[in-house]
Amino acid sequence: MSVVRRPARESVWIALAPAVVAVLGLAVNLGSFVVAAAGLAVVGYGTDRASRSLVTAGSGLLFAGVLNAGARGAPPAVLLLVTAATIVTWTTAEHVVGLAEHLGRDAPVQRSILVHLGGATLTTLLAGGIALGVFLFSTATLTPGVLVFLLVGSALLLYALEP
Protein backbone atom coordinates (compact mmCIF):
# COMPACT_ATOMS: atom_id res chain seq x y z
CA MET A 1 0.00 0.00 0.00
CA SER A 2 1.56 3.22 -1.01
CA VAL A 3 0.79 6.87 -0.49
CA VAL A 4 0.38 8.72 -3.76
CA ARG A 5 0.24 12.38 -2.85
CA ARG A 6 -2.03 13.39 -5.67
CA PRO A 7 -5.78 13.95 -5.55
CA ALA A 8 -8.34 11.37 -6.62
CA ARG A 9 -10.13 12.05 -9.89
CA GLU A 10 -13.46 12.78 -8.19
CA SER A 11 -11.87 15.50 -6.03
CA VAL A 12 -10.50 17.20 -9.14
CA TRP A 13 -13.96 17.19 -10.75
CA ILE A 14 -15.50 18.79 -7.66
CA ALA A 15 -12.87 21.54 -7.70
CA LEU A 16 -13.50 22.19 -11.38
CA ALA A 17 -17.29 22.52 -11.09
CA PRO A 18 -17.27 26.22 -10.04
CA ALA A 19 -14.66 26.96 -12.71
CA VAL A 20 -17.05 25.62 -15.34
CA VAL A 21 -19.70 28.02 -13.98
CA ALA A 22 -17.21 30.89 -14.28
CA VAL A 23 -16.30 30.01 -17.86
CA LEU A 24 -19.97 29.72 -18.87
CA GLY A 25 -20.73 33.04 -17.18
CA LEU A 26 -17.88 34.72 -19.03
CA ALA A 27 -19.40 33.69 -22.37
CA VAL A 28 -20.80 37.27 -22.41
CA ASN A 29 -17.46 38.35 -23.83
CA LEU A 30 -15.51 36.27 -26.34
CA GLY A 31 -12.05 37.35 -25.18
CA SER A 32 -12.89 36.64 -21.55
CA PHE A 33 -14.38 33.30 -22.48
CA VAL A 34 -11.20 32.16 -24.26
CA VAL A 35 -8.89 33.29 -21.46
CA ALA A 36 -11.10 31.72 -18.80
CA ALA A 37 -11.33 28.44 -20.72
CA ALA A 38 -7.53 28.33 -20.79
CA GLY A 39 -7.57 29.06 -17.04
CA LEU A 40 -9.97 26.16 -16.49
CA ALA A 41 -7.61 23.80 -18.31
CA VAL A 42 -4.60 24.98 -16.27
CA VAL A 43 -6.47 24.68 -12.96
CA GLY A 44 -7.60 21.16 -13.89
CA TYR A 45 -4.11 20.02 -14.82
CA GLY A 46 -2.56 21.74 -11.78
CA THR A 47 -5.04 20.16 -9.37
CA ASP A 48 -4.45 16.72 -10.81
CA ARG A 49 -0.67 17.20 -10.49
CA ALA A 50 -1.09 18.62 -6.96
CA SER A 51 0.70 21.82 -8.00
CA ARG A 52 -0.27 24.93 -6.07
CA SER A 53 1.46 27.27 -8.48
CA LEU A 54 -0.43 25.89 -11.49
CA VAL A 55 -3.71 26.19 -9.58
CA THR A 56 -2.92 29.81 -8.75
CA ALA A 57 -1.82 30.58 -12.31
CA GLY A 58 -4.99 29.05 -13.77
CA SER A 59 -7.20 30.93 -11.32
CA GLY A 60 -5.28 34.07 -12.26
CA LEU A 61 -6.30 33.52 -15.89
CA LEU A 62 -9.92 33.10 -14.79
CA PHE A 63 -9.69 36.37 -12.86
CA ALA A 64 -8.12 38.12 -15.84
CA GLY A 65 -11.19 37.05 -17.79
CA VAL A 66 -13.39 38.52 -15.03
CA LEU A 67 -11.54 41.86 -15.10
CA ASN A 68 -11.77 42.03 -18.88
CA ALA A 69 -15.50 41.28 -18.89
CA GLY A 70 -16.10 43.87 -16.13
CA ALA A 71 -14.15 46.57 -17.93
CA ARG A 72 -16.12 45.86 -21.09
CA GLY A 73 -19.43 46.33 -19.38
CA ALA A 74 -20.73 42.93 -18.37
CA PRO A 75 -23.83 43.16 -16.14
CA PRO A 76 -23.12 43.35 -12.38
CA ALA A 77 -25.12 40.17 -11.61
CA VAL A 78 -23.00 38.13 -14.03
CA LEU A 79 -19.84 39.62 -12.62
CA LEU A 80 -20.89 38.75 -9.08
CA LEU A 81 -21.43 35.14 -10.16
CA VAL A 82 -18.15 34.72 -12.05
CA THR A 83 -16.03 36.46 -9.39
CA ALA A 84 -17.50 34.24 -6.70
CA ALA A 85 -17.00 31.18 -8.92
CA THR A 86 -13.38 32.12 -9.57
CA ILE A 87 -12.56 32.56 -5.89
CA VAL A 88 -14.38 29.35 -5.00
CA THR A 89 -12.50 27.48 -7.73
CA TRP A 90 -9.19 28.68 -6.45
CA THR A 91 -9.82 27.95 -2.79
CA THR A 92 -11.38 24.54 -3.48
CA ALA A 93 -8.56 23.50 -5.80
CA GLU A 94 -6.02 24.60 -3.19
CA HIS A 95 -7.97 22.67 -0.57
CA VAL A 96 -7.91 19.55 -2.74
CA VAL A 97 -4.17 19.92 -3.30
CA GLY A 98 -3.60 20.40 0.45
CA LEU A 99 -5.65 17.29 1.22
CA ALA A 100 -3.67 15.34 -1.37
CA GLU A 101 -0.40 16.46 0.20
CA HIS A 102 -1.52 15.50 3.68
CA LEU A 103 -3.57 12.42 3.00
CA GLY A 104 -2.81 11.07 -0.45
CA ARG A 105 -5.12 9.68 -3.07
CA ASP A 106 -6.85 6.88 -1.19
CA ALA A 107 -8.22 8.66 1.86
CA PRO A 108 -11.94 9.49 1.89
CA VAL A 109 -12.03 13.29 1.65
CA GLN A 110 -15.23 14.11 -0.28
CA ARG A 111 -17.16 15.52 2.65
CA SER A 112 -14.35 17.86 3.61
CA ILE A 113 -14.14 19.21 0.04
CA LEU A 114 -17.90 19.71 -0.26
CA VAL A 115 -18.07 21.55 3.07
CA HIS A 116 -15.23 23.82 2.02
CA LEU A 117 -16.83 24.47 -1.36
CA GLY A 118 -20.19 25.21 0.26
CA GLY A 119 -18.73 27.59 2.86
CA ALA A 120 -16.74 29.56 0.29
CA THR A 121 -19.68 29.79 -2.13
CA LEU A 122 -22.06 31.06 0.55
CA THR A 123 -19.69 33.72 1.85
CA THR A 124 -18.61 35.14 -1.50
CA LEU A 125 -22.16 35.16 -2.91
CA LEU A 126 -23.46 36.80 0.27
CA ALA A 127 -20.89 39.63 0.21
CA GLY A 128 -21.27 40.19 -3.53
CA GLY A 129 -25.09 39.95 -3.21
CA ILE A 130 -25.19 42.75 -0.64
CA ALA A 131 -23.13 44.98 -2.94
CA LEU A 132 -25.31 44.07 -5.89
CA GLY A 133 -28.46 44.85 -3.93
CA VAL A 134 -27.15 48.26 -2.99
CA PHE A 135 -26.51 49.06 -6.64
CA LEU A 136 -29.78 47.70 -7.96
CA PHE A 137 -31.86 49.63 -5.45
CA SER A 138 -29.86 52.84 -5.49
CA THR A 139 -31.68 55.92 -6.77
CA ALA A 140 -28.82 58.37 -7.13
CA THR A 141 -26.70 58.48 -10.25
CA LEU A 142 -23.15 57.34 -9.84
CA THR A 143 -20.78 60.17 -10.32
CA PRO A 144 -17.10 59.36 -10.72
CA GLY A 145 -16.63 61.02 -7.30
CA VAL A 146 -18.92 58.52 -5.55
CA LEU A 147 -17.30 55.67 -7.39
CA VAL A 148 -13.86 56.74 -6.29
CA PHE A 149 -15.06 56.93 -2.68
CA LEU A 150 -16.50 53.44 -2.84
CA LEU A 151 -13.50 51.93 -4.52
CA VAL A 152 -10.88 53.60 -2.37
CA GLY A 153 -12.87 52.57 0.71
CA SER A 154 -12.89 48.96 -0.44
CA ALA A 155 -9.20 49.12 -1.22
CA LEU A 156 -8.42 50.39 2.29
CA LEU A 157 -10.62 47.71 3.84
CA LEU A 158 -8.99 45.01 1.75
CA TYR A 159 -5.58 46.26 2.76
CA ALA A 160 -6.56 46.27 6.44
CA LEU A 161 -8.01 42.77 6.24
CA GLU A 162 -5.03 41.30 4.41
CA PRO A 163 -4.95 37.80 5.87
Partner 1 sequence: MSPDDVDRDPGSLTDQRLQQGQAMGRTMRTVESGVTGDIDFQAPSVRDNPARTAIGLVVAVAGLAAVVGLDVVPTLPFGNGVVAGISVSAIVLGSLALVRRLFTDYETAETADVEYRESVTVPGSDFDDALAGAIHGLSRTRIDARRDVTERLQRAAISIYAQAERIPETEAREAVAAGAWTDDPVAAQFLSAESSVSATGDQVRSLVGRRTKLSTDTDRVLVELAALAPGLDAADWDSPTADTDRPSAVRTTDRRRRQVDRRTNRWSGLTGLGLLAVGVGIWAGHSAVPPSLMVAAATVVGAAGYVYLSSPPPVELAVERDLSATDPAPGEAVTVTVRVTNESDELLPDLRLVDGVPPAVRVVDGSPRFATALRAGETVSFSYTVEAVRGDHPFDPVQVILRDFSGALERERHVPSESETVLSCALDLSADEEIPVHPQTARRVGRVVTDTGGSGVELHSVREYQRGDPLSRIDWNRVARSGEFATLLFREEHAATVVVLVDARAEAYVAPRVDAPSAVDHSIAAADVVVASLVAAGDSVGLAALSPERCWLEPRGGATQAARARSLLERHPAFDGNRPDGAFYGEFAERRLRRELPSDAQLVLCSPLADDDAVDIVRQLHARGFPVTVLSPDATASASTGQRLATVERAMRISRLRRAGVRVVDWDTDKPLETAIDAAQRRWSA
Please select the residue that binds partner 1; options are 15, 26, 102, 117, rule is CB under 8 A: 102
Please select the residue that binds partner 1; options are 10, 17, 31, 107, rule is CB under 8 A: 107
CA distance 30 to 38: 13
Using CA atoms of 82, 53, 104, 94 in order, give the dihedral in degrees to the nearest 10. -30
Least separation in angstroms between residue 41's CB and partner 1 is 20
| Closer residue to partner 1 in complex, CB, 19/99 | 99
Of 29, 94, 31, nearest to 59 by C-alpha is 94
Of 86, 35, 95, nearest to 59 by C-alpha is 86
| Contact (CB, 8 A) for 35 and 54 | no
In 3-state terms, what secondary structure has residue 88? Answer: helix
CA distance 45 to 38: 11
Least separation in angstroms between residue 35's CB and partner 1 is 14
Least separation in angstroms between residue 138's CB and partner 1 is 4
Please select the residue that binds partner 1; options are 29, 32, 83, 89, rule is CB under 8 A: 83
Which amino acid appears at position 132 of this protein?
L
Least separation in angstroms between residue 16's CB and partner 1 is 18
Compute how many residues bind partner 1; rule: CB under 8 A. Answer: 81
Footprint of partner 1 on 10-39 (CB under 8 A) = none
Footprint of partner 1 on 35-64 (CB under 8 A) = 52, 56, 60, 63
